[in-house]
């Protein structure tokens, strides 16, 4: 029995060695990669690293012009508001400040109205009405003004004002 076991193990080992040598070795296939693509641009008339001549005169965006009538309206609205801060003068002040399309001016107008509202001289507007007025006149400003750096500061001022006015019980 032991002889039969030893013979079968040797036979299996011999078959495994024969099978190992009988297999064909794998051929290593070599192929060349295609060359990398040439960098291109979005526009076909330009090549990479091509120098573009700068324009003769730099193009600057013009700031919005303030006409004399708008300026006079703003001065009149500020004077009217300082004399008698009420619903009508507040609305006019904020609207004229928004029409000026200057974020800093609108921010100053909001702060002036908030100061008057805090000290009680502007009592005929509720917190909700004032908040609504601030937010609605904000959208009179142009998108360019709203997205500028001063517009960002204005948004923060509006956010503080809204938080303050939301906490007031009606």
Tell me which residue range forms the domain holding 115.
68-166
- Cα angle for residues 22, 26, 30 (degrees, 5° grid): 160
Residue 39 belongs to some domain of the structure: no
pLDDT tens, residue by residue, 66-99: 677 877 888 888 888 888 888 998 998 999 889 8
So what's the pLDDT on residue 40?
A: 64
Count of domains forming the chain:
1
So what's the pLDDT on residue 159?
A: 94
Residue 53 belongs to some domain of the structure: no
pTM of this structure? 0.59
Q: What is the mean pLDDT of each run of 10 residues along the chain (170 residues)?
A: 88 88 72 78 58 63 66 81 88 89 89 90 88 92 91 94 83
So what's the pLDDT on residue 137?
A: 92
**Residue 1: both structure tokens together:** 């029995």
Residue 36 belongs to some domain of the structure: no
């Amino acid at each position: 029995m032991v002889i039969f076991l030893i013979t079968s193990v040797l036979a299996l080992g011999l078959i495994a060695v024969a099978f190992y040598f009988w297999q064909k070795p794998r051929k290593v296939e070599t192929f060349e990669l295609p060359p990398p693509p040439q960098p291109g641009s979005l526009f076909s008339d330009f090549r990479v690293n091509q120098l573009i001549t700068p324009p003769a005169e730099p193009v600057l965006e013009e700031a919005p012009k303030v006409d004399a009538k708008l300026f006079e309206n703003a001065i009149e609205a500020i004077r009217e508001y300082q004399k008698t801060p009420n619903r009508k003068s507040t609305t006019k002040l904020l609207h004229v400040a928004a029409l000026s399309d200057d974020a800093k001016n609108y921010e100053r107008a909001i702060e002036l109205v908030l100061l008057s509202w805090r000290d009680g001289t502007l009592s005929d507007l509720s917190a909700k009405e004032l908040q609504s007025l601030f937010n609605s006149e904000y959208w009179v400003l142009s998108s360019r003004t709203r997205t500028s750096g001063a517009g960002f500061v204005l948004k923060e001022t509006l956010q503080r004002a809204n938080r303050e006015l939301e906490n007031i019980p009606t």
